[in-house]
Amino acid sequence: MATAQFGIFAVGTSAHCFLEFSLKPGVDPQTLATAIADIEEPHTTVGGANLVTGLRPSLWSGLAPDDMPANTEDFAAPMVGPGRFTMPATQRDAWVWVSGAARDLVFDMSAAIIDQLHPVAEVATEVTGWSYRHSRDLTGFEDGTENPPLAEAGDVAVVPDTLPGAGASVVLVQQWVHHTNFWNNLPVAEQERVMGRTKLDSVELDDAVKPVDSHVARNVITDDSGQELHIFRRNVPYGTVTDHGTMFVGFSFDPPRMTRMLERMAGIEDGVRDALTRYTTPLTGAYYVVPSVESLRAFATPSQDD
Picking from 87, 60, 122, 29, the residue whose alpha carbon sits closest to that of residue 274 is 87
SS (H, E, C) the chain: CCCCCHHHHCCCCCEEEEEEEEECCCCCHHHHHHHHHCCCCCCCCCCCEEEEEEECHHHHHHHCHHHCCCCCCCCCCCEECHHHCEECCCCCCEEEEEEECCHHHHHHHHHHHHHHHCCCEEEEEEEEEECCCCCECCCCCECCCCCCCHHHHHHHHCCCCCCCCCCCEEEEEEEEEECHHHHHCCCHHHHHHHHCECCCCCCECCCCCCCCCCHHHHHCCECCCCCECCCEECCEEEECCCCEEEEEEEEECCHHHHHHHHHHHHCCCCCCCCHHHHCEEECCCEEEEECCHHHHHCCCCCCCCC
Q: Answer yes or no: are the C-beta atoms of 229 and 146 closer than 8 Å.
A: no
Burial of 294 (0-12, 13-18, 19+ CB in 10 A): middle
Within 10 angstroms of residue 259's Cβ, the number of other Cβ atoms is 18
The catalytic residue among 67, 93, 143, 274 is 143
Q: Are 17 and 102 in contact (CB under 8 A)?
A: no
74 is catalytic: no
Annotated catalytic residues are: 143
